[in-house]
Amino acid sequence: MVPNRQIYANILLDDWFKRTFGTEARKKIMELFLRELIPEHDIVELTYVNTEHTNPIEGKRDVRVDVECMDRDGTRFVVEMQLARQAHFYERALLNSTFAIQEQSVKGDINYDFPTVYFIALLDFSFHGKDSRPLYKYAIREETSGELMTPRLKYYILELPNCSKALTAEASIIDNFCYTLHNMSSFTSQPEELKDELFNLLFDSAEIATFTPKEKAKYEFDMTTERDIQNFIDYARQEGREEAKALRDAEIVKAMMAKKYPVEDISEITGLTASEIEKLS
């Protein structure tokens, strides 16, 4: 059950992140966010595109991203939300961004003049250790001179906990944005410092009282599932017994498969191989 005192939903959870940032009804949130994050790109009109990408290599898993949208000039924005550390994060970011490039190519076109692709990762943990900046930008550059190889592929990483300037006079919109997403479910009201259009829309979207009965039921189920997964992990860590590990493995796999977690994510959390996960599921 959702605690009675909880006013706003945790919009970082999978379906609720997509509801907030990946639906036509709330497209304004994505537009305002991207305008703040990438002010050099003049966003005109976003269109959501398919988040399922077919892997052209036979036998390899297809790729699904959280949210993907395209501006009128063809620029693509791939937006991913991660709640916990995962192995090979940079490599996964690179792989997932390439599908947005491939799908822009036109057969017979040999000049490869594809529009820019932005891969944007929102991390609910600090990935860079002691460096506490909320925003990191990456591009492909020559190793010695730093010369940019291409401006058409860019990577932005937002670390939500790195928001020490939030709610101060020095805070940027991005500082406050990270703070809001990281703390949304703990707010009891919308802070006065967060009253512009972007934050008004975020708080409106997250307010549980405005959910339909179906949405409320789904959110309570998701919250229970997330707590169960964490409880199983905590129990196994504390007990350290074989029977606890077996219980943890079976229950976590069942819960995560029900929520359509990628197999590699389940493997990273449980330490199981893909074949062991298949057997348990």
Tokens 């002691």: give the residue: 130
Mention every residue, 6+ apart, whose C-beta is less than 8 A from residue 116.
41, 75, 76, 151, 152, 153, 154
Chain length of the chain: 281
List C-alpha distances in Å: 145 to 112, 140, 142, 148, 149. Answer: 25, 12, 6, 9, 11
Alpha helices in the chain (DSSP H): 14-21, 27-37, 89-102, 173-183, 197-206, 213-239, 242-258, 263-270, 274-280
Give residue 80's pLDDT. 95
Give residue 244's pLDDT. 47
The CA distance from 179 to 159, in Å, is 10
What is the token pair recorded at 52?
């399922």
Per-residue pLDDT of the chain (281 residues; tens, 9 = 90+): 555 578 999 999 989 999 999 999 999 999 999 999 999 999 999 999 988 776 766 666 667 889 999 999 999 999 999 988 877 889 989 988 988 888 766 555 556 778 999 999 999 999 887 667 999 999 999 999 999 999 999 999 999 999 999 999 999 999 999 999 999 999 999 999 999 999 999 999 999 999 999 999 999 888 877 766 666 555 555 655 555 455 566 777 777 776 667 777 777 667 777 777 777 76
Beta bridge partners of 81: 122
